[in-house]
């Protein structure tokens, strides 16, 4: 069975793609930035993409008609890379997500954010969000998931909040790590790094035998594309990758030194399929990729949500059946 979903803060489509793989049909994707909207429409022309401020999006027309409301609300309010202002950050869209939960009354809610959201600093704010979901009639589950446990060659820890409406039998559990899912950077990128016949690719591959640090996307205020601050660049350097910038193409045959990743390499490390088109502007493409939610992780969480909805659907049908002893 397929189920209807609405997603806010859809970004470049990582979460939406993963949920599509899990069996969800997107009734609407809401995204504010035009470049991201163009990316979504370019890759999935049949998706209904509304390029608008989520503050202006009203969920009342969808009340009781949606199975899943999801969203990766902006992470800067809780990220160590930002100022960690939490509820005081104007980019905090948790209030809008909660407003839409109240308006739409979806069967399940899925919210994704950075590890920092689970920190002690935000304990009070986190409790207020959970309490609001409970008052709206949801059982709440919360856990930190590492992308590397689900076939993504990058650690990328993410906080996932799931709300299951209390009139549905709550069978939800978070996905278990996939055995032998860990894939190192060298193995993941070997074919892309060797695309132009780079003679040192084998030696590089042996050096890059680790999981990548978390890719960063930054904001519009961030400068040109790179792989993050000094600490992150040092981690990339250990794997023989120059994190000070992003390349346009793979190393030439006689290239010496540390290669830089291309946007396509970054996208693969984020779990996107190679045909996902981020456009030709490198800085914007890298920002979209770095800010994305890995599709394989969204797929696995989506499959667990779908199990809840499958069970609820079966349970609903069974309760409507007339028992044999009542016939005649």
Report, as residue numbers or ranges, the catalytic residues: 75
For residue 90, what are the CA distances in angstroms to 93, 96, 119? 8, 12, 20
DSSP secondary-structure letter at 212?
B
For residue 121, what are the CA distances in angstroms to 88, 108, 267, 326? 13, 27, 32, 58
Angle at the Cα of 142 (from 139 to 148), degrees rounded to 5? 145
Residues 6+ apart with CB under 8 A from 77: 84, 85, 86, 87, 88, 89, 91, 92
Is 316 buried (19+), middle (13-18) or exposed (0-12) by CB count in 10 A? exposed
Cβ proximity of 40 and 49 under 8 Å: yes
For residue 282, what are the CA distances in angstroms to 81, 139, 213, 220, 224? 22, 42, 20, 13, 9
Intra-chain end-to-end CA distance of the chain, in Å: 34
CA-based nearest residue to 156, from 313, 296, 49:
296
Structure tokens at 216: 């960063």
Q: How many residues does the chain have?
A: 328
CA atoms within 13 A on the CB side of 36: 27
CA 112, CA 54: separation in Å to the nearest integer?
Answer: 16
Structure tokens at 127: 């409790």
CA 105, CA 273: separation in Å to the nearest integer?
Answer: 33
Structure tokens at 220: 């519009």
């Amino acid at each position: 069975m397929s189920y209807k979903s609405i997603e806010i803060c859809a970004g470049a489509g990582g979460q939406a793609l993963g949920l599509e793989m899990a069996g969800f049909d997107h009734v609407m994707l809401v995204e504010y930035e035009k470049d991201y909207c163009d990316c979504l429409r370019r890759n999935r022309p049949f998706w209904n993409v509304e390029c608008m401020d989520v503050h202006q999006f009203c969920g009342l027309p969808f009340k009781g008609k949606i199975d899943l409301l999801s969203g990766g609300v902006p992470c800067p309010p809780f990220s160590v890379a930002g100022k960690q202002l939490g509820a005081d950050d104007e980019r905090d869209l948790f209030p809008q997500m909660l407003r839409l939960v109240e308006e739409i009354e979806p069967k399940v809610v899925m919210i994704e954010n950075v590890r920092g959201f689970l920190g002690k600093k935000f304990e009070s704010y986190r409790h207020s969000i959970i309490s609001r979901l409970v008052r709206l009639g949801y059982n709440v589950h919360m856990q930190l998931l590492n992308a590397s446990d689900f076939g993504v060659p990058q650690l990328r820890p993410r906080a996932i909040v799931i709300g299951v409406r209390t009139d549905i039998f709550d069978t939800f559990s978070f996905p278990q790590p996939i055995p032998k899912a860990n894939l190192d950077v060298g193995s993941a990128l070997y074919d892309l790094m060797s695309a132009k016949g780079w003679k040192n690719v084998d030696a590089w591959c042996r050096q890059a035998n680790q999981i990548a640090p978390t890719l960063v996307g930054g904001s519009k205020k961030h400068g040109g594309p790179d792989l993050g601050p000094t600490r992150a660049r040092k981690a990339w350097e250990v794997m023989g990758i120059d994190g000070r910038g992003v390349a346009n193409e793979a190393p030439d045959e006689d290239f010496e030194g540390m290669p830089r990743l291309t946007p396509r390499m970054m996208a693969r490390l984020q779990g996107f399929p190679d045909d996902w088109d981020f456009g030709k502007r490198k800085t914007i493409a890298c920002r979209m990729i770095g800010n994305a939610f890995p599709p394989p992780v969204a797929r696995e969480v989506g499959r667990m949500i779908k199990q809840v909805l499958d069970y609820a659907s079966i349970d609903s049908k069974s309760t409507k059946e007339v028992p044999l002893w009542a016939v005649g």
